Amino acid sequence: MANRTVTIINGDGIGPEVMAATLRVLEALELPLDFEYKDAGAEVIAKYGTNLPDETVEAVLRNGVALKGPTGTVVGGGLPSANVGLRKRLDLYSSLRPVKSVPNVKTRYEDVDLVVVRENTESLYAGLEHIIVPGVVESLKIITEKASTRIARFAFEHSKRHGRKRVTAVHKANIMKLSDGLFLDCCRKVSREFPEIKYDEFIIDNLCMQLVKDPTKFDVLVLENLYGDIVSDLCAGLVGGLGVVPGANIGERTAVFEAVHGTAPDIAGKGIANPTALMMSSVMMLDWLGMRDEAKRMQSAIQKVYTEGKVRTGDLGGTANTREFTDAIIAAL
């Protein structure tokens, strides 16, 4: 059987370091994978005149899958986000963020195990805004039946495939009666196709309060774009932060698996970054590629290192550098 080619996008800041660590683990698994390196992010603008070169998008389309490090985005100016650009151009309509408690990572909560499914292509987060007159800006929130139905179906199908029992639609339809109302209507229609899965609804502000009171009572959350962006980071904070949470952006034909944390320029090049998030994202990638046994092996190795608690990086109170942590994961394989 021919090897599957994965597009590798190192990204900015600590991206190349956490990517190198993750690829060491994937290579230790001796998988039938080849890697094709392409560029994206703030650090390649000088070279290409853009943070998302066409050849990178074409490579992801051709290979159907990518593993991506974090990319930087200027706040309040500059080029649009490379992440948003990838999602739009590849129609990666679903952001999938599993959030699960990590052994020996002390947080306020135990036994958190939920999944955030975020619509990735529209709503306010799409950034459709313009100046009407000086001092007045209009930002457009677009909600469509097609995108809302598609993300709702993704959430229910993911739940069915992974033995999840409940899907919660998150909204603000008490105020945005037409836009969020349409999103809810689509979720309700899809829910009728999956009678074995419990369906309910929460207003976004109440959901945030309930999450910080007791996140263990939620299972799968389905949200439109901006709400999903905020809630997925909030949920990551419940289990130790973005450094221990994986992420994926999935479309009909392609998928990009990525670390969802920032580029951490303050520690870039020091060899002390925690590669856990990207390693866990690559576990999701292997599962998506149908390499489920290998995914379980890698996941088990990560779990073992955390359960033993002897080797951990500085962000989690340990002293290990990136290489030492990676060595421990490979040993655990």
- Domains of the chain from N-terminus onward: 1-100+241-333 (3.40.718.10), 108-238 (3.40.718.10)
pLDDT category at 128 given cuts 50, 70, 90 is confident
Each residue of 237-289: pLDDT tens digit?
999 999 999 999 999 989 999 998 999 999 999 999 999 999 999 999 999 99
Which among 100, 141, 172, 304 is annotated as catalytic?
Answer: 172
> Which of 185, 219, 186, 184 shows the shortest CA–CA distance to 204?
184
- What's the pLDDT score for residue 77? 61
Residue 269 has a CB neighbour count (10 Å cut-off) of: 11
pLDDT category at 78 given cuts 50, 70, 90 is low
- What's the pLDDT score for residue 82? 86
pTM score over 0.95: no
Alpha helices by DSSP H, listed for the chain, are 15-28, 45-48, 54-63, 82-90, 145-161, 179-191, 204-213, 225-238, 276-288, 292-308, 322-332
Instruction: Compute CA distances 108 → 204, 210, 232, 311, whole Å.
Output: 22, 14, 17, 22
* 125 assigned to active site: yes
HSE value, Cβ hemisphere, 13 Å, CA-based, for 139:
7
Which among 93, 125, 199, 306 is annotated as catalytic?
Answer: 125
Look up residue 138 and give its amino acid.
Answer: E
Which DSSP category does 85 fall into?
Answer: H
pLDDT for residue 75 is more than 70: no
pLDDT for residue 71 is more than 70: yes
Vertex 19 angle, CA 330 and 237, to 5°: 90
Each residue of 81-111: pLDDT tens digit?
888 888 889 999 999 999 999 999 989 998 9
For helices 322-332 and 292-308, the axis angle rounded to 10 degrees is 120
* 172 assigned to active site: yes
Which among 68, 229, 287, 306 is annotated as catalytic?
Answer: 229
Spatial separation of the C-alpha atoms in residues 94 and 171, rounded to whole Å: 17
Using the CB atoms, write b or e for 110-119: b if 16+ within 10 Å: eebebbbbbb
Q: Are 312 and 325 in contact (CB under 8 A)?
A: yes
Which among 200, 205, 214, 293 is annotated as catalytic?
Answer: 205
Structure tokens at 35: 């890697």
- Higher-scoring residue by pLDDT: 114, 80: 114
Can you tell me the mean pLDDT for 125-145?
Answer: 92
Can you tell me the mean pLDDT for 107-129?
Answer: 91
Each residue of 197-209: pLDDT tens digit?
999 999 999 999 9
